């Protein structure tokens, strides 16, 4: 059975370009509710560890540098079928390939600076949420 929660970040480009409000409206408009949220900035250690799964990929260094370049918004979201439905809402990794109307099609700059993160499985949603929030910060 699919889980009810996913984890997202509005990435540094989404914040720097003034899209926090518009992205949160898309998220709420698609039926997600916010269970935890913070405005924060990743340290280099945070970003290396969060993206450790990608450490052999050629873009890992660029990704860590980019994700630490400015503030982000981290949030835990709830909805039936949360992980899959949120991936549909954000669109493909490369905004040039993202379906019209998706968050990345509307607001991303590039394949690296692609506006938002979305967990890719229920297991990773739980791990990523716990990376950013303690139990008493989650409602």
Binding site for ligand IDP (CB under 6 A): 54, 59, 62-63, 93, 111-112, 114, 117, 120
For 115, the 3-state DSSP assignment is coil
Residue 111 partner contact from ligand IDP, Mg ion, none using kind-dependent CB cut-offs of 5 to 8 Å: ligand IDP
3-state secondary structure 66-85: HHCCCCEEEEEEECCCHHHH
* Catalytic residue (choose from 19, 54, 117, 132): 117
CA-based end-to-end distance of the chain: 22
Bridge-partner residues for 7, per DSSP? 76
Closer residue to ligand IDP in complex, CB, 2/139: 2
- Tell me how far apart the alpha carbons of residues 19 and 131 are, in angstroms, rounded to a whole number: 24
Residue 39 partner contact from ligand IDP, Mg ion, none using kind-dependent CB cut-offs of 5 to 8 Å: none
Give the contact letters, 75-114, x = binds to Mg ion (CB under 5 A), - = no.
----------------------------------------
How far apart are CB 117 and Mg ion at their closest, in Å? 7
For 61, the 3-state DSSP assignment is helix
CA-closest candidate to residue 114, choices 84, 88, 93, 89: 93
How far apart are CB 25 and Mg ion at their closest, in Å? 23
For 99, the 3-state DSSP assignment is coil
- Residue number of the CB atom closest to Mg ion: 120
Q: Which residues bind Mg ion (CB under 5 A)?
A: 120
Q: Which residues are catalytic?
A: 117
């Amino acid at each position: 059975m699919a889980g009810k929660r996913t984890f997202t970040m509005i990435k540094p480009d989404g914040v720097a370009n003034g899209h926090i409000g518009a992205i949160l409206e898309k998220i709420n408009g698609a039926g997600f509710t916010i269970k935890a949220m913070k405005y924060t900035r990743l340290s280099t250690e945070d970003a290396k560890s969060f993206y450790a799964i990608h450490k052999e990929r050629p873009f890992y260094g660029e990704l860590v540098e980019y994700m630490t370049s400015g503030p982000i918004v981290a949030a835990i979201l709830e909805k039936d079928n949360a992980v899959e439905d949120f991936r549909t809402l954000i669109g493909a990794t490369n905004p040039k390939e993202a379906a019209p109307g998706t968050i990345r099609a509307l607001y991303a700059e590039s394949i690296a600076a692609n506006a938002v993160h979305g967990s890719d499985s229920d297991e990773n949603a739980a791990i990523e949420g716990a990376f950013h929030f303690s139990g008493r910060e989650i409602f």
